[in-house]
Structure 1
Amino acid sequence: MFSPYGPTLRELAVQALSSVERGYDLLAPKFDHTPFRTPDVVLDSVAEALAPMGPFAHGLDLCCGTGAGLDVLRAVCGQSVTGLDFSAGMLAVGRDRARSAGPPRTAWVRGDARALPFGPAFDLVVSFGAFGHFLPRELPGLFAQVRSVLRPGGRFVFPIGAPPRPDSPLYWALSGFDTVMRVRNAVRRPQFVMYYRTFRFGDVLRELGRAGFSVEHRALPALGRRPDGSPRCRLIVATG
């Protein structure tokens, strides 16, 4: 799962016993060599789906990490792209990674997605792989924050994978991980919030609607289908 340039087991353990912010500061130099980085096939599929929805002028990558999602925004936004994350380490790696990137202009902002430091400045907000860091009770506030930074008619777009079947090894691996994290967070502070099975499709649609979004979803064909014919991954398109 990890390249030779990725973190050691000890480094991952130290990260998991830290706060979320400190953990990602520690992981940042090696993050792009882990399976936690969103795969290129997902990024490319989202960029392809976004192209006919544009053109967009200003885009925001919410919880941008080292900036893989900013490449998606650069492909579809004509004037500016912004990455927001609360890990200074991840932002520093992202800035270094993007030094040779061309237009549009890029900004890197340290901040909390639950209290966005922007007005209604964006036509498009995307996010990749970050929602496990938010507890279900935080979704209403999170989605309200996103809507507040979108211009009228702006879009909040992100992929969401189909949940693994209960008879699959992945289901039990993710369930086991979530259980371990709950135990860890019950006995140790600060918490490290990262769960794989709490961001559920039905809950997401409901809370986006309550936040005032008009919501549609579509399959991402490049990511394939499950044996029952359902998509392995869908793209959520929420319009403000």
Structure 2
Amino acid sequence: MFTPEGPGLRELAVQALSSVERGYDLLAPKFDHTPFRTPDAVLDAVGRALSSRGPFGHGLDLCCGTGAGMGVLRAVCRESVTGVDISAGMLAVGRERPDSGGPRAAWVRGDALALPFGPVFDLVVSFGAFGHFLPRELPALFAQVHAVLRPGGRFAFPLPAPAPPGSRRYWATLGFDAAMRVRNAVWRPPFVMYYRPFRLGLVRPELERAGFGVELSALPEFGRLPDGSPRCRLVVAARRP
């Protein structure tokens, strides 16, 4: 997909007709060569922003995939880093990465809606995974994150601004989401992945209802839109004592 090392059209078709878990198991060996991997520019910007708030003790990468975000945790967490994901295939690739983290890192298979941890983390991050959760699932998701954080612990993730209406990105995300809705209406098992519903106006109230205090800051590396608003924000939600 877009590179010689990425999956071909047939592979993508098989993955798209699978469940989320099975689809990512199949995609895992080539995932880092697709546009679905979080760009290094985003990871680096978040890492810089978090470094001024740290250091932290124990960190969790929620829906870690092959572990691109684990490097952010290793840079800002002194004690340990843990990645959790539902796909055994993605975790297997992550464990084999040269920068997998060694003895400081744990790779755990688990469901983000039923996390297998107690309140032991000081920082939870997540990159590019929220499209796999329907809006009605966000209260349960945020409650799980709240439950695994220590009091005062933080949940941080980048949140790009919505694509301007009429832009190329606007039509691309609209078309992708429409195609996924049609696919899920006629094919089972469903593959939940939608780009457009996860927006600040929905996310912030749900975080606050889950017991978080929410702080927003611009990621200056990505500039601003013509109206002056940031192209990408860092959302930092602190668990209230």
Question: Is TM > 0.5 for Structure 1 vs Structure 2?
Answer: yes
Q: Which residue of 1 aligns with 2:111?
A: 112
Q: Which residue of 1 aligns with 2:42?
A: 42
Matched positions, count: 239
Shift of 1:11: 0.7
Corresponding residue SS for 2:66: coil
Q: Which residue of 1 aligns with 2:29?
A: 29
Q: 1:198-213 alignment to 2 at 5 Å?
A: 198-213=197-212
Matched-pair contact (CA < 8 Å) for 1:74–1:103: no
Q: Which residue of 1 aligns with 2:161?
A: 162
Name the CA distance, whole Å, in 1 between partners of 2:215 and 2:102.
Answer: 30
Q: Which residue of 1 aligns with 2:148?
A: 149
Q: Percent identity?
A: 76
Taking a change above 3 Å as real, the CA distance of residues 232 and 148 of structure 1, as seen in their structure-2 partners, is: same
Which blocks of at least 5 consecutive residues in structure 2 are unaligned? none
Shift of 1:170: 1.3
Matched-pair contact (CA < 8 Å) for 1:79–1:104: no
Aligned residue identity for 1:136: P
- CA deviations 1:67-118 (Å, max 9, x no partner) are 00000000000010000000000000000004x5556700000000000000
Shift of 1:228: 2.2
Matched-pair contact (CA < 8 Å) for 2:67–2:100: no
Taking a change above 3 Å as real, the CA distance of residues 227 and 197 of structure 1, as seen in their structure-2 partners, is: same
CA RMSD of aligned residues (A): 1.1
- CA deviations 1:107-157 (Å, max 9, x no partner) are 000000000000001000000000000000000000000000000100000
Matched-pair contact (CA < 8 Å) for 1:121–1:150: yes
Which blocks of at least 5 consecutive residues in structure 1 are unaligned? none
Corresponding residue SS for 1:75: helix
Matched-pair contact (CA < 8 Å) for 1:85–1:111: yes
Aligned residue identity for 1:67: G
Matched-pair contact (CA < 8 Å) for 1:128–1:158: yes
Name the CA distance, whole Å, in 2 between partners of 1:102 and 1:112.
Answer: 22
Name the CA distance, whole Å, in 2 between partners of 1:188 and 1:27.
Answer: 19
Q: Which residue of 2 aligns with 1:86?
A: 86
Q: Which residue of 2 aligns with 1:181?
A: 180
Matched-pair contact (CA < 8 Å) for 1:113–1:145: yes
Q: Does residue 97 of the first structure (1) align with residue 97 of the second (2)?
A: yes
Aligned residue identity for 2:174: S
Name the CA distance, whole Å, in 2 between partners of 1:42 and 1:104.
Answer: 26
Question: Runs of 4+ in structure 1 displaced over 2 angstroms?
Answer: 100-104
